[in-house]
């Protein structure tokens, strides 16, 4: 299996500039591509309940498989710069947001610094990550747990509502 770089996309607030969460995610992906990142594959769009459960709007999510000359730290910096440019405000954890970009896996690297933890430390607990990930990269295996996204989904708590959008 070739090394994979996977990014999770999410949003649940409209952007005054870009529009709906899905329009914002599409624009953010284009902005990353304009900076030299290539999207090799993108999952379908998913609508998912907030995790942990709350009264905030449901999210639109996807996972992309990408190629980039950037290393993991520089890619994360580009993603965070893009979030800021799109109006992301980091006021409190798990708050509603106009854009959320998560570096899920970078070629199986294991990194643990205050700025970056790879693989993403909670990805194996989130249906909104695992379902689109299984779609875009079925051969992927969790770098620590050794399980595929489908295997991780099979043992995941069913309490995370998600639906694949038709278009």
The model's pLDDT over 6-57, given as tens digits with 9 standing for 90+, comes to: 999 999 999 999 999 999 999 999 999 999 999 999 999 999 999 888 899 9
Dihedral sign of CA atoms 12, 17, 18, 19 in order: positive
Residue 12 structural domain:
5-164
Please report, for the domain that includes residue 105, its CATH number.
3.30.70.560
DSSP 124: G
1 band by pLDDT with thresholds 50, 70 and 90? low
Q: Please confirm, yes or no, whether 97 is among the known catalytic residues.
A: yes
Q: Of 88, 105, 126, 127, which is the active-site residue?
A: 88
Residue 98 has pLDDT above 70, yes or no: yes
Number of Cβ within 10 Å of residue 153's Cβ equals 16
Q: Of 22, 73, 74, 97, which is the active-site residue?
A: 97
HSE at residue 159, side-chain half, CA atoms within 13 A, is 5
133 token code pair: 């990930």
Q: How many domains does the chain contain in total? A: 1
State the average pLDDT over residues 121-132.
Answer: 96
Residue corresponding to tokens 């970056």: 116
Q: Of 42, 100, 105, 127, which is the active-site residue?
A: 100
Residue 167 has pLDDT above 80, yes or no: no
Q: Is 72 helix (H, G, I), strand (E, B) or coil?
A: helix
What's the pLDDT at 3? 75
Q: Of 42, 47, 102, 126, which is the active-site residue?
A: 102
**Which region among 7-21, 60-74, 90-104 has the lowest average model confidence (pLDDT)?**
90-104
Q: Please confirm, yes or no, whether 102 is among the known catalytic residues.
A: yes
Q: Please confirm, yes or no, whether 88 is among the known catalytic residues.
A: yes
Give the predicted TM-score (pTM) of the model.
0.95
Cα of first residue to Cα of last residue in the chain, in angstroms, is 29
């Amino acid at each position: 299996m070739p090394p994979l770089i996977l990014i999770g996309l999410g949003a649940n607030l409209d952007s005054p500039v870009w529009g709906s969460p899905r329009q914002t995610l599409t624009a953010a992906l284009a902005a990353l591509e304009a900076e030299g990142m290539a999207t090799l594959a993108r999952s379908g769009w998913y609508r998912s309940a907030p995790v942990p459960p709350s009264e905030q709007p449901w999210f639109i999510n996807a996972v992309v498989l990408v190629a980039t000359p950037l290393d993991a730290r520089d890619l994360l910096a580009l993603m965070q710069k893009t979030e800021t440019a799109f109006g992301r405000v980091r006021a409190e954890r798990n708050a509603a947001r106009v854009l959320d970009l998560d570096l899920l896996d970078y070629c199986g690297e294991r990194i643990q610094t205050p700025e970056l933890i790879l693989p993403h430390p909670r990805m194996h607990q989130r249906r909104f990550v695992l379902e689109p990930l299984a779609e875009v990269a079925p051969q992927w295996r969790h770098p620590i747990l050794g399980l595929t996204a489908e295997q991780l989904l099979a043992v995941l708590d069913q309490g995370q509502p998600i639906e694949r959008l038709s278009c």
